[in-house]
Structure 1
Amino acid sequence: MIRHASLAFSAPQHAAVKAHLFPGDGKEAAAILLCSRVVGTRIKLLVQEYLLVSHEDCERHQDFLSWPGDYVEQALGLADQDDLSIILLHSHPGGLFAFSQADRESDAQVMPAIFAGRAKRHKDTIWHGSAIMLEDGAMRAQLYDEHYRAMAVDMVGVYGDDLRFFWVPDRFVPTTTSRPMAFSDAMSDELGRLSVCVVGTSGTGSIVAEQVARLGFGEVILIDYDRMEKKNLNRILNSTLHDAQTRRLKVDVISEAIQSCRSQVSVKAIPTGIGCRDAILEAAMADVVFCCVDSHEGRQICDLMASAFLQPLFDVGVTIPVRQRGPDLFSILEVAGRIDYVWPGGSTLADRGVFTPSSVAAEYLARADAAVHAARVGEGYMPGSHEEAPSVISLNMRAASACVMEFIARAFQFRHDPNALRARTLFSLAACEEEYAPETDFAKAKNLTLGRGIKRPLLGLPSLEG
Structure 2
Amino acid sequence: MISPALALTGVLHDRLVDHLHPGDRKEAAAILLCSRTPGPRLRLLAKDAILVPHVACKVREPDRINWPGEYIERAIDLAEPLGHAIVLIHSHPGGLFAFSRPDDDSDAIVMPCLFQACSDIHGSAIMTPDGAIRARLYDHDLNKTAVELVSVTGHDLRFFWERDAGRPDHARRPMAFTSEMRAELEQLSATTIGVSGTGSIVAEQNARMGFGRNDYIDFDKVEGRNLNRILNSTLKDVELKKPKAEMFAEAVATYRGCGVAFPVTKPITTREAVLVASQADVLYCCVDTLEARHIADLISSAFLIPLFEVGVSIPTRKTSNGAPAIADVCGRIDYVQPGRSTLQDRGVYTPESLRAEYLRNAFPEAFRAEVEAGYIKGIVEEAPSVITLNMRAAAACVNEFIARAYPFRLDPNEKYARTIFSLAACEEEFVAEAEFAVSNNPVLGRGAQEPLLGLPMLAHRKENNA
Which of the five TM-score ranges fits, normalised by the shorter chain? over 0.9
Cα deviation, residue 175, structure 1: 5.7
Deviation at 1:204, TM superposition (A): 0.5
Alignment of 1:282-301 (within 5 A): 282-301=276-295
Alignment of 1:274-353 (within 5 A): 274-325=268-319, 329-353=323-347
Q: Following TM superposition, by how much is the alpha carbon of 1:308 offset from its aligned partner in structure 2, in angstroms?
A: 0.9
1:147 shift after superposition: 2.8
- Using a 3 Å threshold, how does the CA distance of structure 1 residues 386 and 114 change in structure 2: closer, same or farther? same
Distance in 2 of aligned mates of 1:114 and 1:379: 53
What secondary structure is seen at the aligned counterpart in 2 of 1:228? coil
1:439 aligned to which of 413, 430, 433: 433
Where in structure 2 are the equivalents of 1:110-259 lying within 5 Å?
Answer: 110-118=110-118, 126-169=120-163, 176-259=170-253
After alignment, is 436-445 or 448-457 more displaced? Answer: 448-457
**Percent of matched pairs sharing the same residue:** 53
Give CA deviations for 1:102-150 in whole Å, capped at 9, x if unaligned. Answer: 22222222212111112xxxxxx73111101101000011111233221
SS of alignment partner, residue 37 of structure 2: strand
What letter matches 1:81 in structure 2? P
Determine the structure 1 residue equivalent to 2:464.
none
State the distance in 1 between where 2:167 and 2:351 align: 45
Contact 1:379 1:387 in 2 (8 A): no
Rounded to whole Å, the distance in 1 between the matches of 2:348 and 2:325 is 26
Partner of residue 87, structure 2: 87
Kindly state the Cα deviation for residue 246 of structure 1 after the two structures are TM-superposed: 1.0
Distance 2:40 2:167 in 1: 23
Flag the 1:271–1:93 CA change in 2: closer, same or farther, 3 A: same
Query: Are residues 36 and 29 of structure 1, via their aligned partners in 2, closer, same or farther at CA, if it must alter by over 3 Å?
Result: same
CA contact (8 A) 1:167 1:174 kept: no
Aligned twin of 2:105? 105
1:324 CA displacement: 4.7
Q: Which sections of structure 1, spanning at least 5 residues, go unmatched? A: 119-124
Matched to 1:33, the amino acid is L
- Equivalence for 2:78: 78
Q: After the TM superposition, which of the residue ranges 142-151 and 234-243 deviates more from structure 2?
A: 142-151
Give the secondary-structure state (helix, strand or coil) at the position aligned to 1:34.
strand
State the match for 2:257 in structure 1: 263
Structure-1-length-normalised TM-score: 0.94
User: Distance in 2 between the 1:224 and 1:385 partners?
Assistant: 26
Whether contact under 8 Å (1:379, 1:388) holds in the other structure is no
- Equivalent residue letter for 2:325: S
**8 Å CA contact retained: 1:310, 1:451:** yes
Paired with 2:40 and 2:169, the residues of 1 have a C-alpha distance of: 24
Does the CA-based 8 Å contact 2:207-2:252 persist in structure 1? yes
- Displacement of 1:172 in angstroms is 9.6
Q: In the alignment, is residue 4 of structure 1 matched against residue 3 of structure 2?
A: yes
The equivalent of 1:48 in structure 2 is 47
1:417 is aligned to 411
Tell me, yes or no, if structure 1 residue 13 matches structure 2 residue 12.
yes
Cα RMSD of the aligned pairs, angstroms, is 1.9
Contact 1:378–1:388 (8 Å) recurs in 2: no
The 2-side partners of 1:11 and 1:381 are apart by 35
What is the SS of the residue equivalent to 1:196?
Answer: strand
Distance 1:324 1:22, change over 3 A: same
Check the 8 A contact 2:29/2:89 in 1, yes or no: yes
1:265: how far off? 5.3
Could you say if the C-alpha distance between residues 225 and 377 of structure 1 is closer, same or farther in structure 2, counting changes exceeding 3 Å?
farther
- The question of whether the paired residues in 1 share the 8 Å contact of 2:371 and 2:377 is answered with no
CA gap 1:276/1:199 in 2 versus in 1, 3 angstroms: same
C-alpha contact 2:60 2:66 (8 A) present in aligned 1 = yes
Among 421, 425, 448, which residue is 1:427 paired with?
421
For the 8 Å contact 2:304–2:445, the answer to whether it is kept is yes
Structure 1 residues 321-347: Cα deviation after superposition (integer angstroms, max 9, x where no partner): 223559994211111100011111111
1:127 maps to amino acid: I
Query: Does structure 2 conserve the Cα–Cα contact (< 8 Å) formed by 1:168 and 1:174?
Result: no
Question: SS in structure 2 opposite 1:112?
Answer: helix
Q: Which moved more, 1:384-393 or 1:107-116?
A: 107-116
- The Cα offsets for residues 412-432 of structure 1, whole Å up to 9 and x where unpaired, read as 000011111111111111111
Q: Does the C-alpha gap of structure 1 residues 63 and 366 become closer, same or farther in structure 2, counting only changes over 3 Å?
A: same
**What is the CA distance between 1:173 and its match in structure 2?**
7.4
Instruction: Say if 1:180 and 1:373 are closer, same or farther in 2 by CA, change over 3 A.
Output: farther
Spell out the pairing of 1:50-69 with structure 2 (5 A cutoff): 50-58=49-57, 59-69=59-69
Alpha-carbon spacing, 1:337–1:407, altered in 2? closer, same or farther (3 Å): same
TM-score (norm 2): 0.94
Q: Quick check: 1:317–1:338 contact (8 Å CA) kept in 2?
A: yes
Amino acid in the other structure paired with 2:451:
P
Could you tell me which amino acid in structure 2 is paired with residue 11 of structure 1? Answer: G
Following superposition, the deviation at residue 41 of structure 1 comes to 3.1
Are 2:358 and 1:367 equivalent residues in the alignment? no
Q: Distance in 2 between matches of 1:220 and 1:455?
A: 25
Identify if the C-alpha distance between structure 1 residues 179 and 170 changes in structure 2 by more than 3 Å, giving closer, same or farther. Answer: closer
Query: Contact 2:312/2:331 (CA < 8 Å) preserved in 1?
Result: yes
- Residues 372-411 of structure 1: CA distance to partner in whole angstroms, max 9, x if unpaired? 5774378510111110000000100000000000010011
* Contact 1:378 1:387 (8 Å CA) reproduced: no
Shift in alpha-carbon separation, 1:218–1:265, aligned structure 2, 3 A = farther
CA distance in 2, matches of 1:265, 1:212: 15
Find 1:272's aligned residue among 259, 266, 269: 266
C-alpha displacement of 1:221: 1.1
CA offsets 1:175-219 (integer angstroms, 9 cap, x no match) = 634211000111111111111110001000000000000111111
What is the DSSP-based 3-state SS (H/G/I as helix, E as strand, rest coil) of the residue aligned with 1:451? Answer: coil
8 Å contact kept, 2:134–2:160 = yes
Distance across 2 between alignment mates of 1:4 and 1:156: 10
The answer to whether the 8 Å contact 2:98/2:165 transfers is no
8 Å Cα contact 1:379-1:385 kept in structure 2: no
